Each structure stands twice: as C-alpha cells, then as structure tokens.
Structure 1
Amino acid sequence: MAPLESELIDWTVSADTRAALGPNFVRILGYFREDGTRSVNEIEQAMRAKDPAAMVLAAHKLKGEALQLGALRLSATAETIEMTARTCVEHHETPEEVIELVAALRPMFHETLAILEEDASPLVQQRRPQGFGRLLG
C-alpha cells in the first residue's frame, strides 16, 4: 500500500523528513499537533479581533512547520494568510480578505494532521507491502 492518498501531503517531502528525523518523527508530529493547534487558534482570534499583526507570527510558524512535514496545502494557505496580514499591517487595513482562508484553516489542519498521524502509525507501516508485494500480519 502506498502512503495514504491525499492532495494535502507531498509524500516525497514527508518521507524525506521522516528519514531525517528517524525515531524522533513521532515526537515532532506531536509538537506539530500542539503548535499547529495553538497557531490556528491565534490566527482565528486575530481574525475576530481584526488584528493582522497578531496573525503574522502565528501564520508564519504554521507555514514553516507544515512545510517541513510535507503538508503543502496547509503551508501555502498559512503563507497566503501571513503575506496578506503583512500587507494589511503595512497599509493599516483589517484582514477581511482572508476570512474564507482562515475559516478553512482549522478543518484543513485537522485533516492534514489525521493523515500524517495515520501514516506514522506502526499498524499502517506493517500493512505496507514487503518484498514482492507480500503483506505482513
């Protein structure tokens, strides 16, 4: 079985990160869950407060962490929010133009995280073909 199919994940990037981190990958994924949840909350709060400056750092952090794990759609969405918020800060505007992206961010984060966690599961790893297409277990 190939990695779980999804347009949310670049499996090449994810596999490279996983190989580089080795057994630490699961721990880093846990940090991503915690930090990502915090970042999404901060972005949503900043949107409600119409505070683009508060949005910038949280979106920047989410962008980088998602990119490292191969979560390219999440990273690109966070980057758009970040760059738009930066422009809003420079022009003394509020960030209404990204409200739809902010609204889509939480479900996208949860779906992405679920896919990454399922792929990292030892049970999923055991179901992958070994050798000439044989399955373990």
Structure 2
Amino acid sequence: MSFEGSTLVDWTAFARARAELGAGFVRILGYFREDGVKSVSVIEQAMRGKSAAAMVIPAHTLKGEARQFGAEPLASLAETIEEIARDCVERQDTCEEALEHVVRLRPLFFETLNLLEREANPLVPRKSAGGFGRRPGGF
C-alpha cells in the first residue's frame, strides 16, 4: 500500500513540532521510532493472543506520538484500534473486529516513519529556488 507523503504527514504540524522541540527534535523522533516499533509489535502480539486489554496502552501511545509529528492517518488508525480495544474490554469480548486495522498498522507506521526521517535528515537535498552559489539565468 502506497501513500503520498502529503497525505500521510501534515507538514505544517511537522514544522511546528520541529520548531517547538528545537535541538531535541531528532532525539524525540528517534524515541518515536523506538516506541512505535514496540507499540506496533505489542499490538500485533495482543491481536494474535486475542487480548484487547493489551492493545489499549500501545495504541494510545502511538496515537499521541504520531499526532505530535503531524502523522494524522497513523494517529487515526491507532485511535481506531484503541477505541475498538477499549470497547472489547468493556464488553469482555474478543477483538476480532480490530484485525483489519491491525493488519494495516505496520506498513502505515513504517511508510510514515520513513517520510518523517527523510524530512528530518539534514543531509537530504532540498529543492531550492536559487540562493548562494547559484547563478541567475542558468549560466
């Protein structure tokens, strides 16, 4: 499944987070990677184990961290999983209805993470409208 970067990340929210976090931005993005990988794995394990209760906290964590970086589709998917899991816990029911969402979670997480990390990487060339070292008129 492939998404356009513009639909996976709200770049305005991303820029705001980058400005607010300042020098700690790359470190916090690294924590998002670590926490996200763990959360996705725990959610998948909980799904296999049919434990709705075990899905709630990692889905909630992933939702909040994704929103911090402007990754709204990922945050919404995690929120859906969290809500289904909470409902199942309240009803003391199994969580099969979360399966289709859990299956979509890993690819969406990694595709979103790749976009965030690529944008955060200072070594990735950016499009430029000219500037220092460029000759006007294309000489």
Normalising to structure 1: TM-score of the pair? 0.90
CA distance in structure 1 between the aligned counterparts of 2:41 and 2:132, rounded to whole angstroms: 40
- Counterpart position of 2:126: 127
- Aligned partner letter, 1:104: R
Q: Which segments of 5 or more consecutive residues in structure 1 lack a partner in the other structure?
A: none
- Larger C-alpha radius of gyration, 1 or 2? 2
Q: Percent identity?
A: 58
Q: CA deviation at 1:136?
A: 6.5
Q: CA deviation at 1:30?
A: 0.4
Moved over 2 A (4+): 126-129
Query: Residue 10 of structure 1 contacts residue 71 of structure 1 at CA under 8 Å; is this kept in 2?
Result: yes
Query: Residue 9 of structure 1 contacts residue 71 of structure 1 at CA under 8 Å; is this kept in 2?
Result: yes
In terms of fraction of residues, the more helix-rich structure is 1
- Counterpart position of 1:84: 84
Query: Residue 14 of structure 1 contacts residue 70 of structure 1 at CA under 8 Å; is this kept in 2?
Result: yes
- Counterpart position of 1:48: 48
CA distance in structure 2 between the aligned counterparts of 1:128 and 1:24, rounded to whole angstroms: 25
Partner SS, residue 6 of structure 1 = helix
- Aligned partner letter, 2:105: L
Q: Deviations over 1:84-135 (max 9, x none)?
A: 10000000111111101101100100000000000011123x5242xxx116
CA distance in structure 1 between the aligned counterparts of 2:113 and 2:132, rounded to whole angstroms: 26
- Counterpart position of 2:67: 67
Query: Residue 127 of structure 1 contacts residue 135 of structure 1 at CA under 8 Å; is this kept in 2?
Result: no
CA spacing shift, 1:136–1:29, aligned 2, 3 Å: farther
Q: Which segments of 5 or more consecutive residues in structure 2 lack a partner in the other structure?
A: 134-139
Aligned-pair Cα RMSD in Å: 1.6
Normalising to structure 2: TM-score of the pair? 0.88
